[in-house]
Chains A and B, each alone.
Chain A
């Protein structure tokens, strides 16, 4: 009996010291998320008549969304951005780096430090660095590099905007992929490779038959983490292009920002936000299941 009441008191204490965190998360994350669902059913605006007396408009924001070419463009741009930079670019370069760094070569720590560097740069700084790299004119860095191979200089962010933000985001995320995949690679026992080598397997066979299958859980987890974090990218694209030119790099997070703070249509912006929240949550649930949380 004494033990029971003691345990009850302990449980109350746990709740008590968790309470401040709980309150902050409820107030500044959960409540805003629910509130944006509510806003998406109103014609709330920052200016004009609707700002004074917002009305309930039912599903009108959502029907407008379905017929809004700019919304579909934003979804498409986000999709291409996530697939090309997170699923392909960061993953491939991260895997190559992780595998190369597993070899007993020199300067490993130096190489991995340099590869980690872009991840440390704040979004705005990263954006400006690449504005310099990709600027128009013969003197900009990328133009000078490609002219070496006989390619004409260009104003890269104007001519290939989406490809360029994909390159920049790939640059920024190689480190995350490399670290996660290094952790995954280190769980594969070396004896398996030894045995395969004895049987005369070639390196490419070992990669396809051993490395890839055994890495699958790690790769899946990485894909989900990097997909959700890439959907959330805002500052990097905003500093580089602010969604332009002509919506070519208007990913969903930029579109929400422009609708809400440039067009001042909070209700409509909230409907777009709800779509982004739902997509992220679906990926998030897959991620939580893949993680197999241990208690």
Chain B
């Protein structure tokens, strides 16, 4: 019975119309706030309110880099988040491989543990984390100061645990690890073992197997794990807020937040230009991550 009655066609047309209408409404709801950032950042007379610019200009973007420390904030964000992402990819690549192949007793407890770690709210962890990192930091300073004297401060800016690049990279990476391990474990589960077994027969060591067989095969999985780590670390506000204080180390979310706190003299053009610069890498990464979203969000759902 492939014949469709007229009433059914009308029905279908009406349902499609409802679908268009609801999707349009939801899309407008989703998109409108973005217009303010985009338009105000190109507006010579930007305000808190959404309006069509009368004089278009790039001056706001130029100001971010000349009047403010935008270049430094951007570098710090890219360096810290990039470092954390690389670290996550290496650790999750190795760890996910181990989790997929091992038959040890700790496999299931470990998998449960990384799922449970993902649900812990970071705000509930930052106070003890801060105290712990402060202890590590003081210990490191006590070692470095006698050796490097007055240079110790500069070195600590890179290797310190509080108010240093290293500490923030390690903490950001750790927060992204559970999801990345999960992605990589699932990825390796889907990878046939034939290649490794062939390599094993040829007497390849673990390092050789990882270099010649696993890294080439694991690239799609690593891309997914890296993209999610990047997006989540890039958007994070709490950890830099608590672990950074020097002006030299400020990242984009902090620069943006502090630009907004100058209540009486907020420059909305500058603020939105900065917001757009901060927003862009996140949206680009999200675009690339789109095809991985389903597997990642649904985790272990079958189907």
Contacts and interface: CB of A to CB of B under 8 A. Distances in A.
Interface of A: 10-11, 13-15, 17-18, 20-22, 24-25, 27-33, 35-36, 39, 93, 96-97, 100-101, 103, 105, 111, 114-126, 128-133, 135, 137, 139-141, 171, 174, 176, 179-180, 182-184, 186-187, 203, 217-218, 221, 225, 228, 231-232, 234-235, 238-239, 252-254, 256-257, 260-261, 266, 269-270, 273-274, 276-277, 280-281, 283-285, 287-288, 291-295
A221 B127 contact: no
A118 B35 CA distance: 12
Given A24-B177, A124-B237, A253 B33 contact: no
A257 B35 CA distance: 32
A15 B237 contact: no
A36 B125 contact: yes
B123 to A, nearest CB: 4
Given A253-B121, A293-B115, A141 B32 contact: yes
A129 B294 contact: no
Contacts, number: 309
Contacts of A116: 286, 290, 293
A133 B36 contact: yes
Nearest to A221: B301
A273 B29 contact: no
A108 to B, nearest CB: 9
B98 A32 contact: no
B74 interface: no
Contacts of A292: 300
B222 interface: no
Contacts of B237: 122-124, 234-235, 238-239
B111 A39 contact: no
Contacts of A101: 19, 23
Contacts of B29: 171
B253 A132 contact: no
A122 B235 CA distance: 4
Interface stretch (B44-52, B59-67, B141-149, B150-158): B44-52
Contact of A120 (B27, B116, B231): B231
B165 interface: no
B120 A280 contact: yes
B121 A288 contact: no
A221 B132 CA distance: 34
9 contacts: A21-B181, A25-B114, A28-B175, A30-B117, A117-B34, A171-B29, A180-B301, A235-B236, A288-B112
B279 interface: yes
Nearest to A131: B48
Given A116-B286, A132-B50, A252-B123, 6 more contacts: A96-B26, A97-B22, A124-B257, A125-B278, A180-B298, A256-B127
Contacts of A254: 123
Interface string B124-141: 111111011000000000
Nearest to A178: B26
A111 B22 CA distance: 11
Contact of A24 (B118, B120, B173, B283): B173
A210 to B, nearest CB: 16
Interface in B270-303: 271, 275, 278-279, 282-283, 285-286, 290, 293-294, 297-303
A137 B260 CA distance: 19
A128 B102 contact: no
Q: Which 9 A-B pairs have the closest CB atoms?
A: A235-B237, A284-B119, A129-B33, A120-B286, A122-B235, A253-B123, A35-B128, A187-B303, A273-B124
B91 interface: yes
Contacts of A287: 115, 119
A130 B29 CA distance: 11
Contact of A39 (B119, B128, B238, B253): B128
How large, as a class, is the contact surface on chain B?
35 or more
Contacts of A96: 22, 26
B32 A115 contact: no
A32 B132 contact: yes
Contact of B116 (A119, A261, A269, A285): A285
Contacts of B285: 120
B193 interface: no
Interface string B167-195: 00011011101100100000000000000
Contact of A277 (B40, B91, B120, B231): B120
Contact of A111 (B23, B256, B294, B297): B23
A83 to B, nearest CB: 17
Given A18-B95, A124-B256, A277 B124 contact: yes
A17 B98 contact: yes
Contacts of A141: 32, 36, 49-50
B262 interface: no
A20 B30 contact: no
Looking at A17, A97, A273, A295, the one whose CB has the most chain B CB atoms below 10 A away is A17
Contacts of B175: 28-29
A111 B235 CA distance: 23
B212 interface: no
B31 A28 contact: no
B26 A36 contact: no
A281 B115 CA distance: 10
A133 B235 contact: no
A129 B37 contact: yes
Contacts of A183: 294, 297-298, 301, 303
